[in-house]
Amino acid sequence: MYKKLMLFITCILLTYVCCVTADIGELNAREAKDFQGLDDDIQVLKEEVLELNRDLYILEEELLYPSSTQVAVYVSVDVGDFFDLDSVQVTLNEKVVANYLYTEREVEALLRGGVHQIYIGNLPSGEHELVAYFVGKGPKGRDFKRGANRIIDKGLGAKYLELKITDRTPKHQPDFVVKEWE
Amino acid sequence: MSFPRLEMLGKFKAKAILAFCVYVLSLFSGVSSANIEQPSTIKDLHYGEVLFHFYQEDYFTSIVHLLAARDLNRTTNHIPEDELLLGGIDLSYGLHKEASRIFDKLLQGNVRDAIKNRAYYYLAKIYYQRGYIDESANFLSNVYGPVQESVFGELKLLTGQVYMAQGKYDAAISSLDNWKAPKSHENYADYNLGIAYTKRGNIDKGIEHLKKVGKLKAKTETMRTLRDRANLASGLTLIQNDRPADAIEYLEKVRLEGLYSNLALLGIGWANSNANRHSASLGPLQELRNRSAYHSEVQEGVLALAHAYNELGLHGRAVQAYEQAAGIYNEEAKALSFAAHEIERGVLVDALLDRTKGGPKMGWFWALRDLPELPEVKYFTELLAEHEFHEALKNFRDLLFLKKNLAHWDENISIYLTMLDTRKARYQKYLPLVQQRLSGLDLNELKSQQDSLSSELNEIEKDNAFIQLATAEEKQKLSEIDKLEQRLELLKLQEPDNNKITQMSEKTALMRGIMHWKIHNAYIERSWNHKQEISEIEKHLSITPEKSVSIKNAITESVEKFDAFEARILALHKEIKRLIPIADRVFDEQSRYLEHVAVKELKHREKILVGYEKHARYELASSYDAAASSIVPGGEETSSEDSKSESPKKRWKLW
């Protein structure tokens, strides 16, 4: 008796589920007709706006920072066991040009291998002094502030500089290096 | 037991099992860790800069910067990884077609096996995410040879997931069981293995793996959710396999406030009921009843609670619970109907637009969970769990960002024209001056002057003519000494015996000596400085021809450059103007689609609730009979289970 009842109930439930499914099927068919091609339109639009922004980005750089005078400074972190980065300050020829406080999300991106462009500007050819100050927590969670400097020789092409934070494992200390890229 | 009672019980059990099946399907699919791109050596700073944005999930900026970097040949040391990265970011940004095109192109090219394998992995992932399991498996089967370490773990997990989705649990087990997963992946591997084993029927082995994940010391919300999920999967598996008493231990480990808390509470209630511990099922089910009735677990829970009362012989309370359940379903169905109506009126889109006021970046960084808190749209958070709504909302957000981005450029691009005009004016002002200087420049004359200076210095050195390097002041003083000496000589002739004149002559000679000594002392430094200056002049003169050619070229090119810049700006502005109405149209369509998806889901849920209400009312009627026969007028209702095993105090506590 109980088994028969269960069968009966299952049939009712299946009918109910089928009704709902049929309704949904009908809706889906109508919806597919109404919104046909919307996904394609979105993808095409996204691609076109991306290409537009690429062209605008290049135009902006060429107008504001021509390669003959362009200087860009980047921050990177390698390993980072002995230093938790909070902020970086960059001075060029004794003038502060960048002061950046990093969010947790940005530090995470740096630790995963991302490189942050902290400054882009213009400098004439010749020698210039760059000084960078790194602020954060050092070994054992102590407040830590270190500087690194370099005399750079700006030639006719764009100059790229990398402020690199690395671990000096034997000394259990962080290391801060300014590296020049051409 | 009467006929309707049996029917209701049967329905409740069947419905609960159905519900569990749905949960189990979603819970028992494999899980993957976040897509991890381990830091490889950065050989181009611009490539690293793209990664910086990509890792923060700012896909728009990372694609724009990568496209620009590739155009400007700034990622040449990362070819063809840069293309692979572009495909990966496109994929994250929802550009499935473009991503597929990139990967297909890569696979047709002559690239390393490791690159090809990554492309196959990404393609398999695209197809898996879109539900094309067999195609995904096909791409995975092409992976052969070396695989980059960072991708290897993801690939293994995906392979296991695809096998499981195909129902090939043995293959999933052999793929994952022999793998010594790195720390970042081991919990995911254990979870998937646990699911694969339980699906295969090896419950104990499956629980063993799930237990490991269920015990993990989670530091992040993602890991805490995974832990909950593992404990829930263990509990539900044990209930399904008629081991309800064992299930409770796992279900009780699920956090009370987490994503799976409702299901865990329902599971505990259900497990106790199955173990004939109906009084123990009351606590979690009562807790569940107090939560938002929108959740299907809560809807199941109120019926389960009434059922538990019936089983305990507390028919009066069962009547109350059924009444309450019917009331909840009725209210909730009305609220859903109202919410659907409000969404059709446009409340959802208006609220979302209001939420995302601000600059273009606001559109991008607006988190999907950060939804408006309006009474009409209180179901948004729950709706987000629905894949279709979630995807529709993501596209809505992206389109809103595109609209704001276009509006921003439309407003600001004229700044570049102004800047260009300023530069042109400046150029016109200084051009004649520069041209005049350039025309008056005689490099040969300057070179001969420099040669002459150089030979003069050589002569001075050769003759040790240090006086030649005296300063103007020193030369002035020496000339005054000369004049003084001449006057003294004349005076001496007039008065040869005058001692004072003699003394004055001696003093003057001493002054001359001191001056010579000073000039001689400074000679080496002065000579070195002059040499340096001559060398500087030489250096400048050597680059002057190059510079003057460069300036002459710049003069001729500048006019062309200004024109080219102007043409580019105008063309880009035209493109912005073309895209704005397209973006508006697509955004409006997407808004309608979003509303449609939301309304469809709400109506679907409303329909289910109407069905639930009917069941509750039907059972209510039969419970009235049972209640009328069990309650003695003026006496307290006692449960059949409680009267056998529990004290009255405990019973009241439970109630």
The rounded percent of chain B whose pLDDT value lies above 70 is: 85
- Spell out which residues of chain B touch residue A68, defining contact as CB-CB under 8 Å: none
**One-character DSSP codes across B37-75:** ------SSHHHHHHHHHHHTT-HHHHHHHHHHHHHTT--
Q: Residue A119: beta bridge partners? A: A73
Give per-residue pLDDT as tens, A35-77.
668 989 999 999 999 999 999 999 999 999 998 899 999 999 9
Question: In A42-71, which positions are buried (b, 16+ CB within 10 angstroms) versus exposed (e)?
Answer: bbbbbbbbbebbbbbbbbebbbebeeebbb
| pLDDT higher than 80, residue B471 | yes
| CB atoms B65 and A46 under 8 Å | no
Q: Please judge whether B11 and A49 are an interchain contact, meaning their C-beta atoms are less than 8 angstroms apart.
A: no
Answer whether B427 touches A (CB < 8 Å).
no
With CB atoms and an 8 Å threshold, state whether A74 touches B49: yes
In this prediction, residue B3 has a pLDDT band, given cuts at 50, 70 and 90, of: very low
Q: Does B455 contact A at CB distance below 8 Å?
A: no
Residue A163: pLDDT over 70: yes
DSSP-derived secondary structure letter, B632: P
- Per-residue pLDDT band for A32 (boundaries 50, 70, 90) equals low
So what's the pLDDT on residue B193? 92
Q: Say if CB A74 and CB B51 are below 8 A apart.
A: no
Q: Which segment of B613-617, B644-648, B651-655 scores lowest on mean pLDDT?
A: B651-655
- What's this model's pTM, rounded to 2 decimal places? 0.72
Of A42-56, B162-176, B503-517, B541-555, which gets the smallest average pLDDT? B541-555
Residue B626, pLDDT above cutoff 80 = no
pLDDT attached to residue B111: 83
ipTM of the complex: 0.86
Distance from the A32 Cα atom to the nearest Cα atom in chain B, whole angstroms = 10
DSSP string, chain A: -HHHHHHHHHHHHHHHHHHHHHHHHHHHHHHHHHTTTHHHHHHHHHHHHHHHHHHHHHHHHHHHS-TTTEEEEEEEES--SS-EEEEEEEEETTEEEEEEEPPHHHHHHHHTT--EEEEEEE--SEEEEEEEEEEEE-GGG-EEEEEEEEEEEE-SS-EEEEEEEEEEGGGTEEEEEEEEE-
Residues of A in contact with B71 (CB under 8 A): 54, 58
Between residues B356 and A17, which one has the greater pLDDT? B356
* pLDDT at A6 > cutoff 90: no
Q: Which tens digits make up the pLDDT trace of B165-209? A: 999 999 999 988 888 878 788 889 999 999 999 999 999 999 999
Q: Determine the Cα–Cα distance for residues B42 and B278; give it in Å rounded to an integer.
A: 62
Which residue of chain A is at minimal alpha-carbon distance from B36?
Answer: A112
Kindly identify which residue of chain A lies nearest to residue B8, measuring between CA atoms: A9
Of the pLDDT bands very low, low, confident and very high (cuts 50, 70, 90), residue A34 is low
Check: CB of residue B355 under 8 Å from CB of residue B371.
yes
Token pair in block for residue B455: 């030979």
**pLDDT tens across B422-461, in order?**
988 988 888 888 878 877 778 788 888 888 888 888 888 8
What's the whole-number mean pLDDT along residues B16-22? 41
Predicted confidence (pLDDT) at residue B221 exceeds the cutoff of 50: yes
Say yes or no to pLDDT of A18 above 60: no
B6-22 mean pLDDT = 40
Three-state DSSP class for residue B633? coil
By CA distance, what is B550's nearest residue in A? A156
With a CB-CB cutoff of 8 Å, which residues 514-553 of chain B face chain A? none
Interfacial B residues in 252-311 facing A (CB < 8 Å): none
Query: Average of pLDDT values for B303-332?
Result: 87
Contact A27 B600 (CB under 8 A): yes
Put simply, whether A116 touches B (Cβ < 8 Å) is yes
Average pLDDT for chain B:
82
**pLDDT at position A93:** 95
Q: CA B124, CA B135: separation in Å to the nearest integer?
A: 7
Residue B362 has pLDDT above 60, yes or no: no
d(CA B494, CA B482): 19
- Residue B36 tokens, joined: 């991890």
In A, minimum Cα distance to B561 occurs at A63
Q: How far apart are CA B58 and CA A103, in angstroms?
A: 14
CA-nearest residue to B418 within chain A is: A63
Q: Is the confidence at residue B565, as pLDDT, over 60?
A: yes
How confident is residue B251, by pLDDT bands cut at 50, 70 and 90?
A: very high
Buried/exposed B493-525: b ≥16 CB within 10 Å, e otherwise: eeeeeeeebeebbeebeebbeebeeebeebbee
CB atoms within 10 A of CB A110: 24
Q: Least CB-CB distance to B45: which of A47, A49, A162?
A: A162
CB-CB under 8 Å, A52 with B576: yes
Nearest by CB to residue B48, choosing from A16, A50, A76, is A76
Q: What average pLDDT does the segment B629-640 reach?
A: 53
Q: If contacts are CB pairs under 8 Å, which of residues 17-36 in chain A contact chain B? A: 17, 20, 23-24, 27, 31, 34-35
* Residue B277 near residue B243 (C-beta atoms within 8 A): no
B384 pLDDT higher than 80: no
pLDDT in tens, A95-140: 999 999 999 999 999 998 999 999 999 999 889 999 999 999 988 8
B1-15, B25-39, B49-63, B528-542, range with greatest mean pLDDT: B49-63
Q: Which residues of B touch A11 (CB under 8 A)?
A: none
Coil, helix or strand at residue B443: helix
Q: What is the pLDDT of residues B119-169, one digit of tens each?
A: 898 888 888 877 788 989 999 999 887 777 777 888 888 999 999 999 999
CA distance B48 to chain A (A): 5
Interface of B with A in 26-85 (CB under 8 A): 36-40, 42, 45, 48-49, 51-56, 60, 63-65, 67-68, 71-72
Residue B51 one-letter amino acid: L
Residue B581 forms contact with A (CB below 8 Å): no
Q: Which residues of A touch B568 (CB under 8 A)?
A: 55, 59
Whether residue B42 and residue A115 make contact (CB cut-off 8 A), yes or no, is: yes
At B388-403, the pLDDT tens digits run 787 888 889 899 999 9
Q: What's the whole-number mean pLDDT along residues B521-526?
A: 89
State yes or no: pLDDT of B32 exceeds 60: no
Taking CA–CA distances from A44, the nearest residue in chain B reads B95
Q: How far is B55 from chain A (nearest CA, A)?
A: 5
Q: Report d(CA B433, CA B234) in Å as an integer.
A: 85
Q: Which of B9, B51, B60, B64 best probes binding to A when mutated, by most A CB atoms within 10 angstroms?
A: B64
Give the span between the Cα atoms of B302 and B449, in whole angstroms. Answer: 104
Dihedral angle computed from the Cα positions of residues B8, B11, B15 and B17, in that order, rounded to the nearest 10 degrees: 110
Beta-carbon separation of B402 and A46 below 8 A: yes
pLDDT tier at B4, thresholds 50, 70, 90: very low
- A117 and chain B in contact, CB less than 8 A: yes
CB pairs under 8 A between A and B: 169
CA distance linking residue B96 with residue B587, whole number of Å: 19
In the predicted structure, residue B371 carries a pLDDT above the cut 80: no
A10, A18 contact by CB (below 8 A):
no
Contacts of B65 in chain A (CB under 8 A): 57
Q: Give the nearest chain B residue to A40 (CA atoms).
A: B97
Q: Give the best residue of A10, A49, A107, A180 to mutate against chain B (max B CB count within 10 A).
A: A49
- Pairing type for strands A116-122 and A95-101 reads unpaired
Which residues in chain B have Cβ-Cβ distances shorter than 8 Å to A42? Answer: 94, 395, 398-399, 586, 590
B300-313 pLDDT, tens digit per residue, is 888 889 888 888 88
Residues on chain B touching A63 (C-beta within 8 angstroms):
416, 419-420, 565
B56, B71, B593 ranked by CB distance to A54: nearest: B71
Q: Do residue B51 and residue A106 have CB atoms under 8 angstroms apart?
A: no
Inspect the interface and report whether the beta carbons of B45 and A54 lie closer than 8 Å.
no
Test mutation, A21, A46, A55, A167, chain B, max B CBs within 10 A: A46
Which residues in B lie closer than 8 A to residue A52 (C-beta atoms)? 409, 572, 575-576, 579
Q: How close, in Å, is residue A129 to chain B by CA atoms?
A: 21
